Amino acid sequence: MKPQFKLDNQLCFRLYTASRLITQAYHPLLSGQGLTYPQYLVLLVLWEQDAQPVNDIARRLYLETNTVTPLLKRMEAAGILTRSRGEQDARQMIVSLTPKGRALQKKLADVPMEVARAVACPSVNPESAPELYRMLDDMIQKLHQES
C-alpha cells in the first residue's frame, strides 16, 4: 500500500477525530443548560458583540446563513436570543441576546478551562496553544480562500 493512502498519514483524519472528540468533551458541560456545541459557538460570538446581523454571525463561524438560521430559531424558542428586522435595512435580521442568554455567560464561565484541561497533554498546553492556534488559523484561512 502506498503511504499516502494509510489512514495514519491523513491530516484530515486527525483533524476530524480531534474535532469530534473536543465537541464530545463539550457535551456534558453544555447539556445541563440545554445547549449544543454549535449553539455555544453562537453565544461566544454574541458575548463578544451583541446585536449582530445573521450574516455576520454566519461569517464569523465560517458557516452559511441557511445553516445558522435554524440554529438561531431554536435558540430563540428557548428564550436565549431574539431576532428582529434591522432598523436601517428591513431585509437584515439582527440577533440579540436576551437576559437569559447573557446570564448563560456566567453559568458557563468554567467551560473554557474545563475543555482546556480535557485537551491538555505534553504537546498541547498553555505554552504551545498560541502556536497551535496560529497554525490552525493559517490552515483555516487558506482553505476558506479556496472554497
pLDDT in tens, 52-82: 999 999 999 999 999 999 999 999 999 999 9
pLDDT in tens, 113-145: 999 999 999 999 989 999 999 999 999 999 999
User: Rounded distance, CA 132 to CA 139, Å?
Assistant: 11
Confidence of residue 89 (pLDDT cuts 50, 70, 90): confident
94 SS3 class: strand
- Domain map of the chain by residue range? 35-113
The set of cell numbers assigned to 12 is: 484530515
Instruction: Give pLDDT, residue 55.
Output: 96
Sheet holding 93-97, edge to edge: 52-53, 93-97, 81-85
In the chain, what percentage of residues exceed pLDDT 70?
A: 100
Confidence of residue 10 (pLDDT cuts 50, 70, 90): very high
The overall average pLDDT reported for the chain is 95
Instruction: Give pLDDT, residue 88.
Output: 77
CATH no. of 35-113: 1.10.10.10
pTM of the shown model: 0.93
β-sheet bridge partners, residue 81: 97
The set of cell numbers assigned to 94 is: 439582527
Q: Is the dihedral of CA 134, 140, 143, 145 positive or negative?
A: negative
Confidence of residue 98 (pLDDT cuts 50, 70, 90): very high
Average pLDDT over residues 77-105: 92
Confidence of residue 87 (pLDDT cuts 50, 70, 90): confident
Instruction: Give pLDDT, residue 45.
Output: 98
